[in-house]
Structure 1
Amino acid sequence: MPENLRMPIVVVAIVLVVLVWGSLFIVSETEQVVITQWGRPVGRPITEAGLHFKVPLIQKANFFEKRVLKWDGSPNQIPTRDKKYIWVDTTARWRIKDPLLFLQRVGTVTTAMSRLDGIIDSVVRDHVSNNRLVELVRSEGWERARESLLEAGLGDYQIMMGDEAENDPEASAVLAKGREKITREMVADASRLLPEFGIEILDIRIKRINYVQTVQQRVFERMISERKRIAAQYRSEGEGERAAILGQMERDLARIQSEAYRAAEEIRGKADAQATRIYAETYGRDPEFYQFYQTLDFYKRYENPRGLFVMGTDAELFRYLRDREPEGDNP
């Protein structure tokens, strides 16, 4: 190949590679593409994955997500219908339904997020302001769940419902609307505003509801007071059970002791009667020997160094000593 043709061929090859490379693009399963020519969209959006072509240097492939995207709002302080100020933190799920319209009206996901901030925050604020706190916290079917828990034996469940059920008659009734229904209404209202941007809202959820700082401390104090009251009630019931058990124990102990004492007295009475009978039989056989034995037993058992008896020699106690003859006098 002549030297003068080598350079032009290399240049042409490079240009062809650049043109071919610029005309090919790959669309993945999670993407969708809109082709624009000089800034204006041409053709239909490409939603099928694979290798696709465009005019190089003139047309541009604009990629958009096909997957579900997440939106997280900033916590807002909103008053409820019953004039209770709360912090509401919400989240939503959305997707680009019409990429061509999305490109024309919004352009980028960042811009779409800012549009969602205004629309969803406004919808959430309207629905929170139009409903009571109990409806935002609880869901439909709460009363049935409460009855099931009461049937299961949770007697303190009514106490755990708080002062709201006691002060608000509507709060203790069956809820016609709860958090689930309110969030469905939020989705419906937002869905009427977002199609013009090529966006479809799929779900809106309330992540967290909390009292504002000025009310939160009082709520905590009330919760602590409620817990202390329930604890005092448990302690009182425990003391009552303890007193009942101790009383029953004392009654059983007194009954057992009484029965034991009665049985012991019966045994002792029978033993005394038998001993008396034996003594009487013994006395009847040799009264003189028995009297002599009793006198000797008195001599043996008498131990009282401080005691003093003053008796004459003719006292009955010394009869056996007095009548005893000295050994030396025996013939």
Structure 2
Amino acid sequence: MSRVTILIIVVFAALVTVLSSVFIVDEREKVLVLQFGQIRDVKQDPGLAFKVPFIQSVVRYDDRIQSLDTPEQEVTPLDDRRLKVDAFARWRIADVVQFRQAVGGGDMGIAESRLSTILTSQIREVLGSVSSNTILSADRVALMNRIRDAAIVRARSLGVEVIDVRIKRTELPEQNLEATFQRMTAERAREAADERARGREAAQRVEAQANRTAVELVSEAQRDSEVIRGEADAQRNAIFAEAFGRDPEFFAFYRSLTAYERSLKGQNSTMVISPNSEFFDYLKSDRAQPSSRDN
């Protein structure tokens, strides 16, 4: 073997050795340097890094935020109205050494499976402690925060940081929709009946008060009219009495004229009366009858 061939072999072996000892750390990943399966070094800063060739190996983990969709599940709130819940989470590897120890030599799928189990159990626990109306209302944000906080604590054993948990969809199962609709219809009908009953009660109170007020007003008006009529009659009688006292003959003449006016009307076709009656005293003579004062 010539020296040139040996030199080429040596250079090639050296080149392979150098290339085997150098690797690049991407800014989007974390790298573990393993030796016989044991962690020897952690590389997190981007750039060139070195390892012992042929003895040490490199395992790369994605350092970016990951998305995990939990499987659709049914939960039972406090009011026993079963709900179908679909959620998702955002997470990332916080401690790559602990993550490696937790999942072993498995890939990200194992970590996602274990994290999905944690999220599912927390969703059932938190949503099972409240009513369905709370889950379907604006208070759901507080419930998602509770699920996230509980998942953060349990996911630390995986070396994982749970950043956020969100409920994408919450709805009733198909078999419960009709029963729920009928119950809601019955509740609305009951509320409408209660409102109508309260309306009728209020109308009766208003009507009774109006009737009472009307009776009081009419009674007061009748009382005032009787008082006024009595005062008027008294004043009229006083005027008549005063007139009679001043001139009894004129008063008698006035009364006779009033009697003629009331009796001698067109509809009175027949009168049966004695010609010598006092009724005709003022018709028989053009002079007034002598008064008692003249005697």
Alignment TM-score, normalising by the size of structure 1: 0.55
- Identity fraction in percent: 26
Task: State how 1:1-331 maps to structure 2 within 5 Å.
Answer: 27=27, 31-34=28-31, 44-47=42-45, 52-53=47-48, 64-66=62-64, 68-77=65-74, 85-99=82-96, 105=105, 111-112=108-109, 116=112, 118-123=113-118, 135-137=129-131, 192=157, 195=158, 199-202=160-163, 204=165, 206=167, 208-300=169-261, 305-312=266-273, 313-324=275-286
Report if the CA contact (8 A) 1:138-1:179 is conserved: no
Q: For 2:200 and 2:166, locate their aligned partners in 1 and report how far apart those are by CA, in whole Å.
A: 47
1:280 Cα offset (Å): 1.0
Query: 1:86 corresponds to which letter in structure 2?
Result: L
1:215 Cα offset (Å): 1.4
1:25 Cα offset (Å): 8.2
Deviates more, 1:205-214 or 1:182-191: 182-191
Report if the CA contact (8 A) 2:76-2:128 is conserved: no
Mark the CA change 1:292 to 1:72 in structure 2 (over 3 Å): closer, same or farther.
farther
Q: For 1:81 and 1:254, locate their aligned partners in 2 and report how far apart those are by CA, in whole Å.
A: 57
Radius of gyration: which is bigger? 2
Mark the CA change 1:280 to 1:70 in structure 2 (over 3 Å): closer, same or farther.
farther
1:285 Cα offset (Å): 2.0
Report if the CA contact (8 A) 1:34-1:62 is conserved: yes
RMSD, aligned α-carbons: 4.8
Mark the CA change 1:228 to 1:248 in structure 2 (over 3 Å): closer, same or farther.
same
Which residue matches 1:148?
none
Mark the CA change 1:202 to 1:180 in structure 2 (over 3 Å): closer, same or farther.
closer
CA offsets, 1:219-274, max 9 Å, x none?
22212212221232232223222222322232233223323322332222122112
Alignment TM-score, normalising by the size of structure 2: 0.60
CA offsets, 1:261-302, max 9 Å, x none?
223322221221122111111122222212222333344456
Report if the CA contact (8 A) 1:84-1:133 is conserved: no
Report if the CA contact (8 A) 1:64-1:99 is conserved: no
1:42 Cα offset (Å): 8.9
1:322 Cα offset (Å): 2.2
Report if the CA contact (8 A) 2:87-2:167 is conserved: yes
Query: 1:294 corresponds to which letter in structure 2?
Result: R
CA offsets, 1:294-329, max 9 Å, x none?
33334445685443232354444433222238xxxx
SS of the equivalent of 1:135 reads coil
Query: 1:263 corresponds to which letter in structure 2?
Result: D
Q: For 1:257 and 1:303, locate their aligned partners in 2 and report how far apart those are by CA, in whole Å.
A: 40
1:54 Cα offset (Å): 5.5
Extract unaligned runs of 5+ from structure 2. Answer: 1-22, 135-142, 288-295
SS of the equivalent of 1:307 reads coil
SS of the equivalent of 1:93 reads strand
Extract unaligned runs of 5+ from structure 1. Answer: 1-22, 143-177, 326-331
Mark the CA change 1:127 to 1:99 in structure 2 (over 3 Å): closer, same or farther.
closer
Q: For 2:194 and 2:183, locate their aligned partners in 1 and report how far apart those are by CA, in whole Å.
A: 16
Moved over 6 A (4+): 23-26, 58-63, 79-83, 178-183
Tell me the matched-pair count.
247
Report if the CA contact (8 A) 1:80-1:132 is conserved: no
